[in-house]
C-alpha cells in the first residue's frame, strides 16, 4: 500500500481545541480556534475555518504551553481547512509537555503508516 506519509517519527491522532496566532495581511495579528487533529514531535495538523498560507510563521497555544512553527500546507477538505505545521526545533512536542485529552498512538494500534487527514 502506497501512502503520502512523509513523517519519520510517530504520530498521534488527537482531538483538542487549541489557539493559533499569526500575522496576516498588513501584518495584522490573527487569532483563531483550531481543532488539533494529529501531532508528532516535529509537526501537527489542525483544522480551521479559514485559509492559512504555507510559509506563514505561526504560534500554537496548547494547554499552558506555546509552540512555534511554520505552515507547510493548507488544503480545503469537505468542511474546513487542514493546515500542516512544522514545529520549530526549539519547540518540539512531547506528551510530557502537553497531553491532549484524546490521544491515540497509531503505532500502539499496529498501524505503522497512516496518511494525514488532508490527503497530502
* Domains of the chain: residue spans and CATH: 12-90 (2.40.10.220)
CB 85, CB 72: distance < 8 Å: yes
Give percent of the chain with pLDDT exceeding 70: 80
Residue 109 has a pLDDT of 64
Cell representation of residue 98? 502537553
Q: Which residue has the cell 503505532?
A: 107
Ramachandran sector of residue 8 (left: φ over 0; alpha: ψ -120 to 50; beta: rest): alpha
pLDDT digits (tens, 9 = 90+) for 26-44: 899 999 999 999 999 999 9
In tens digits, the chain (120 residues) has pLDDT values of 333 444 446 778 888 999 999 998 889 999 999 999 999 999 999 999 999 999 999 999 998 999 999 999 999 998 899 999 999 999 989 877 787 777 777 666 665 554 444 444
Work out whether strand 65-77 and strand 43-48 pair parallel, antiparallel, or are unpaired: unpaired
For the entire predicted model, the pTM comes to: 0.80
Amino acid at each position: 500500500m502506497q501512502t503520502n506519509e512523509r513523517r519519520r517519527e510517530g504520530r498521534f491522532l488527537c482531538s483538542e481545541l487549541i489557539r493559533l496566532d499569526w500575522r496576516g495581511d498588513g501584518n495584522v495579528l490573527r487569532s483563531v480556534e483550531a481543532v488539533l487533529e494529529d501531532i508528532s514531535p516535529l509537526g501537527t495538523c489542525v483544522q480551521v475555518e479559514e485559509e492559512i498560507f504555507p510559509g506563514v510563521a505561526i504560534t500554537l497555544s496548547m494547554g499552558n504551553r506555546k509552540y512555534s512553527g511554520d505552515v507547510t500546507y493548507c488544503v480545503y477538505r469537505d468542511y474546513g481547512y487542514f493546515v500542516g505545521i512544522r514545529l520549530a526545533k526549539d519547540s518540539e512536542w512531547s506528551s510530557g509537555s502537553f497531553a491532549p485529552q484524546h490521544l491515540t498512538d497509531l503505532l500502539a494500534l499496529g498501524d505503522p503508516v497512516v496518511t494525514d487527514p488532508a490527503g497530502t
